[in-house]
Amino acid sequence: MPHSQFSSGDALADRRVEYARMLAESGDLLAATELVEQALELVPYWAAGWFSLADYRERNAVVEGAVDAYRQALRFDPQDVFGARLKLALLGAAEVPDLPPSRYVESLFDDYAERFDEALVERLNYRIPEDLARMIADKAPFRLTVDLGCGTGLLGAAIRHMTDHLEGFDLSANMLAKAEQKAIYDYLSEADLNLPAEAAGLFGPGRPTFRADLVTAADVLIYLGSLETVMPLVADLLSTGGHFAFSVEEATGSEGFQLRESLRYAHTEPYIRALLEKSGFETVATMPTDIRLDRGKPVPGMLFLSRKEG
């Protein structure tokens, strides 16, 4: 996220941070740090400035200074639009949160919406929608599908022909606007999977529980650490015998989920299987895959197809 886009309200401070960004891109992190420090002398309550300072200090291996600056960013932005809590956790200065800040995820994708399709498909070799579509093809046709974290509609386009009615939900209004332009979905609305079922935005007049026979989540659960609340929510969406198809980044080790430097979460296969069983799902099929490229390297992941038992 280009954090410098959040103005301080002081033109001189903004110019210094913008110049600092250019210096950092050229590799002069020390000079960039000094310029941001000067800007913060003018506007000491500027959360975006503190986050930029933390980033430059971290990249320059000034860990304690980075931690202090991330804490200041969080102090002046309690909703945490920049993800300072996640950065603190990666630096060992805070516990790994079970869930990321909703405002961070919303802002991330609102900013990303215009270039999302091109970046993900053309540059990052993202093929999860096509892979998930192939995985569920022999279960089609579906009466009603709910696409969680639908984004701009990449998965919706891949499965539209398989379902009579297609609903899409996303946290980002800008991503939903892009999806609407494609005229793929019969219904689109904002929803926050971080919230309990009654507040998430998935249910209401005309949107009852147990209404779907397919729920999908392509590249969505990577922005949720603990899936303890998401699995029951999906169970509330699905009718008995309905299917849940989704992707995760694959983690190794004994912990169920891990926060990565990308600020995304990875999950272990045993953790996913145990939660599915606990929530009343049978694992029908799994498939290892590469989720996307990250810094030129493939990110290992896994696709799951599960069925809600009676």
| Amino acid at residue number 22 | M
- From the list 99, 108, 67, 202, the residue with the least C-alpha distance to 148 is 202
- CATH 1.25.40.10 residue window(s) in the chain: 3-95
Confidence at residue 47, expressed as pLDDT on a 0 to 100 scale = 95
Residue reference for tokens 């929608």: 129
Q: If you write DSSP's letter for every residue of 189-212 in order, what string do you get? A: EE--TTS-HHHHSS-BTTB-TT-E
Q: What is the mean pLDDT of the chain?
A: 94
278 is written with which tokens? Answer: 């606990």
Global pTM reads 0.93
pLDDT digits (tens, 9 = 90+) for 212-230: 999 999 999 999 999 999 9
pLDDT digits (tens, 9 = 90+) for 24-38: 999 999 999 999 999
Q: Which CATH class is domain 3-95?
A: mainly alpha
310: pLDDT strictly greater than 90: no
- CATH 3.40.50.150 residue window(s) in the chain: 111-308
Q: Which residues contact 197 (CB under 8 A, 6 or more apart)?
A: 203, 229, 232, 233, 236
Average pLDDT over residues 8-32: 94
pLDDT digits (tens, 9 = 90+) for 101-124: 999 999 999 998 898 888 888 888
Of the pLDDT bands very low, low, confident and very high (cuts 50, 70, 90), residue 3 is very low
Q: Burial letters for 34-44: b for 16+ Cβ neighbours within 10 Å, e otherwise?
A: bbbbebbeebe
6: pLDDT strictly greater than 90: no
| CATH architecture classification, 111-308 | 3-Layer(aba) Sandwich (3.40)
Task: Give just the sign of the alpha carbon dihedral 248, 249, 253, 258.
Answer: negative
